[in-house]
Amino acid sequence: MTALLLVDDHPLFRDGFAAMLRTHRPAWTLNMANTGAEALEALAGRPAPDLAIIDILLPDTDGFAAARAIGELAPLVSRVIISGREDGAARLRSRDCGASGFISKGWAPERILEMLETVLAGGVAFDTPQTAHAGEAMTVRQLEVLSLLADGHSNKVIERRMNIAPRTVRAHLTEIFRLLEVDGRMQAILKARQLGLIG
């Protein structure tokens, strides 16, 4: 029997996900956790699930950190990141944290289940947009800089948030501008949005 752990604090999504499984995969079992800490408690206290599905936005941590922690505690549990936003940065960060797939909450049930079954069978499920070629060349750190840039943060704030030196921020920005073939911050943000690299 396939056992899943859904780590998400949004009641409507949790209810919808459970209803989807009852309708389409009634033999699967589903446990839920609201936070990263609850997920770790659940893993310590009962038989490990086959798959953990982890939302990016959790009350106590982000889903990438939660996925890493789950991987350290239960390395045989496959992990999938799920999010309401569908962007290249989130996909790349999902790969970087050890997840085997990325799923958008906006997808149809059939597509979500197909991705989950791919991961359960030992595969990886990252549906990369055709236009995301620039994102594929970027590092995770560069995509983090790009996301912070899009949120309106200055170089100083990016330095503090990422705990990096001023010259490192400037080097990341120079490389981001080169990969996106743009001349400045605003152009980079607009181009990255067009390519689906940021939400």
Residue 176: what residue type?
I
Q: Does domain 133-194 have CATH number 1.20.120.1780?
A: no
If you ran DSSP here, which 8-state letter would residue 199 be given? -
SS3 5: strand
| Residue 152, C-beta contacts closer than 8 angstroms, at least 6 positions apart | none
Q: How do the pLDDT tens digits run along the chain, 199 residues long? A: 899 999 999 999 999 999 999 999 999 999 999 999 999 999 987 789 999 999 999 999 999 999 999 999 999 999 999 998 766 777 878 888 899 999 999 889 999 999 999 999 999 998 755 444 555 677 888 888 998 999 999 999 999 999 999 999 999 999 999 888 899 999 999 988 887 777 6
Instruction: In whole angstroms, give the CA distance from residue 47 to residue 178.
Output: 48
Q: Take residue 170 and report the two structure tokens written for it.
A: 């400037």
The structure's pTM equals 0.69
* Chain centre to alpha carbon of residue 104: 9
CA distance 156 to 175: 18
How do the domains of the chain map onto residue ranges? 3-120, 133-194
Name the token pair of 175: 């490389």
C-alpha–C-alpha distance, residues 79 and 21, integer Å: 17
Selection from 182, 197, 64 nearest residue 139 by Cα: 197
Written as six digits, the tokens of 114 are 């197909």
| CATH architecture group of domain 3-120 | 3-Layer(aba) Sandwich (3.40)
Strand duo 51-55 + 3-7: pairing:
parallel
